[in-house]
Amino acid sequence: MNDTIVNRIFRMGAFVVLAAVIVLLFPRYNNSFRYHFEVGKPWGYATLTADFDFPIYKTDAQMQEEQRKLLTTFTPYYRYVPQVQREVMVVSLAEMDWLQTEGFNRVAIMQRGGVYKSCMVSELYTPASAYKRFGYDCALNLVRDTAFTQSQREKLLSTLSPTHGLVQKGEKIIGKGEIVTDRDFQTLQSLRKAYENESAGNRQRALSVLGEAMLVSLFLCLFVIYLYVFRVQYLRNTNTVLFFCLLMLIVVALSSLAIRFNLSVYLIPFAWVPILTRVFFDSRTALFLHFTTILITSIIVPAPVEFFFIQIVVGMVAVSSLSDMTRRAQLVQTAGWIYLAQLVAYTAISFAQTGMWSSIDVWMYLYFFICALLTVGCYGLIYMFEKMFRFISSITLVELTDINSDLLHTLAERAPGTFQHSMQVSNLATEAAKAVGANALLVRTGALYHDIGKMTDPLYYTENQQGVDNPLLKMDPRDAAQVVIAHVAEGEKIARRNHLPEVIINFITTHHGTSLVRYFYNTYANAHPGEKIDTALFQYKGPKPSTKEAAILMMADAVEARSRSLDEFSEEAISRMVDQMIDTQIADGQFAETPLSFKDVEDIRRVFKARIISMNHHRISYPTLNK
């Protein structure tokens, strides 16, 4: 089994593990009654009928009111302890306060022989009131029988029925689209309790979990199919697959926690999914991943239809308002648009479903605002994911193109000619990238750093030799070629010391591919006719470019350098030079591993020719003043 197969199994296994973890994270219920409903909102499911007989349970408020009324007839029980004094019924001051607070009018007093006698509370005395009435101290002789009182109270309450009606098997409970009334809500809650009964069995719960697992697996499979059909390069990259899985897991886990702790799911920033995916990848993938995530979350949220529509709006607004994130302020603006979109979507859905102002929950507007604030916090996640998965965002690229950065400033000081060459290559490559739909900002950044290895020995390169003899011409062509080739390895070392992203380092290592240092190769071949030459002594180590951006930089670098040696700058000469350089690279197979098409190559040629002609256009001579 080779590494490629192992990697494929690992990537597919990541989705399998994701599905299993998501199902385990879902809030577990003790029943299979998974409907979500609210009073005043439409029933969003098919018409519901009873599968079995079940009673309609009274609400807590109803039970409490009935208990209150029933307890008005209840009397607490006391034991009578005869005293030597006159038989005055005396209770403690605390006991009298309790009787009056609880609203009891009568008490039951156990006499000799276990017979209970009913007595008015007004006939009882406290020690103080007895002294005032009879003129002497009276001892306490009534003691509440707490245990018997409690048992009698419970016995009385047990006579209350917790139900007030019966729904028979096959009876309609509620129809699709009907508004849930208080009565409907009570009936549906009663059905939920019926399912909680163990008699519903483990079978329903097992089938419920199985259904969840099937739905999650289905949604993830559809996302994998999308990647396979439209973005297979993402599916073949382990870091990218892990990023998708982790991002979905974070959002679904937060949603599950919110539901477990009875928090609103609208506090969760689902916009993280499309924003982060758009920052590192493309809009279509961002939307598809977002749709997959909210479909999975819809399985467990209350009012799933309303949730789904609102989050669809969130994803579309996030992707549309963040076409290319190059400034921090863009994230704040996007969060603002998302907040407004959620407000409008929620209000519109509420009106469409009920047609009543009372259906608006004003707390939802606060939840949306908090969610918008959390969306801005996505900026920190961008940095985290960049480091974790070695991605690169547009924000980082913009920062790297700052020519006042320490590394580029050092390049400009030590090798000014190389710096100017890099700037020209950057301009050429950027225009070509725009013409063929490549990442212009990425290739621009790579071009600025592609020759930083020349800082080590800048005078070995002609662009930095101002009136100084070229020391390479005094060396053996094979040694001179090795000196030139070394600037690639030196550039990689400098880039890693300065912690440049891997994708930028890739431009440094591939901008010459496996091409020959032709000046010294041809020089040596001409001086040694008939000799079998070891081309490895004159060949760059590679690797070859594997992306459009790397190929464009390779072409731009060669064309810009060759343009400096032209004797004439006519359109014909420039056109011939561009064709010759690119044709040579194609003949060498330098672009065999890139996705460039023939049309792309022709478009790049056209851009290079136009740009170099404009850079070297003829200016008119300024006349001098006659004296």
How much of the chain is helix, strand and coil, in % rounded to 5? Answer: 65, 5, 30
Of residues 45 and 475, the one with the higher pLDDT is 475
Least confident of 304-318, 363-377, 391-405, 585-599: 391-405
Please check the confidence at residue 244 and state whether its pLDDT lies above 70: yes
pLDDT of 85 = 52
Tell me phi and psi for residue 55, to 5 degrees. Answer: -80, 155
pLDDT of 622 = 61
pLDDT of 308 = 93
Distances (CA, A) of 398 to 38, 268, 430: 49, 30, 13
pLDDT of 426 = 96
Q: Where are the domains of the chain?
A: 3-26+204-389, 65-157, 401-615
pLDDT of 207 = 77
Helix (H, G, I), strand (E, B) or coil at 73: coil
Of residues 455 and 193, the one with the higher pLDDT is 455
- The alpha carbon of residue 162 and the mean position of all alpha carbons in its chain are separated, in whole angstroms, by 46
Tell me the pLDDT band of 621, cut-offs 50, 70 and 90.
Answer: low
pLDDT mean over 528-538: 91
pLDDT of 536 = 92
Helix (H) / strand (E) containing 475: none
pLDDT of 115 = 72
Tell me the pLDDT band of 588, cut-offs 50, 70 and 90.
Answer: very high
The residues, any chain, with a CB within 8 Å of residue 526's CB and separated by 6 or more, are: none
Considering the domain 401-615, what is its CATH architecture? Orthogonal Bundle (1.10)
Which pairs with CB-CB distance under 8 Å and at least 24 residues apart come from 199-202? 200/31, 200/32
pLDDT of 429 = 96
Please check the confidence at residue 84 and state whether its pLDDT lies above 60: no
CB 326 within 8 A of CB 332: no
pLDDT of 53 = 82
pLDDT of 248 = 97
Helix (H, G, I), strand (E, B) or coil at 103: coil
Neighbours of 69 (CB within 10 A): 10
Neighbours of 497 (CB within 10 A): 9
pLDDT tens readout for residues 287-345: 999 999 999 999 988 788 889 999 999 999 999 988 766 677 788 999 999 999 999 99
pLDDT of 199 = 47
Of residues 428 and 356, the one with the higher pLDDT is 428
pLDDT of 1 = 41
Distances (CA, A) of 362 to 271, 301, 357, 485: 21, 19, 11, 68
pLDDT of 483 = 94
User: What is d(CA 38, CA 182) in angstroms, rounded to the nearest whole number?
Assistant: 9
pLDDT mean over 508-517: 95
pLDDT of 11 = 92
Task: Identify the CA nearest to 112 among candidates 79, 161, 149, 85.
Answer: 79
pLDDT tens readout for residues 175-218: 877 888 888 888 888 887 777 664 445 566 677 788 899 999 99
pLDDT mean over 351-377: 87
pLDDT of 266 = 94
pLDDT of 379 = 85
Tell me the pLDDT band of 3, cut-offs 50, 70 and 90.
Answer: low
Tell me the pLDDT band of 141, cut-offs 50, 70 and 90.
Answer: confident
Helices (H), 197-282: 201-230, 232-235, 238-260, 272-280
- Average per-residue pLDDT for the chain: 88
Q: What is the pTM of this model?
A: 0.70
Please check the confidence at residue 386 and state whether its pLDDT lies above 60: yes
pLDDT of 570 = 86
Of residues 361 and 515, the one with the higher pLDDT is 515
User: What is d(CA 395, CA 381) in angstroms, rounded to the nearest whole number?
Assistant: 13
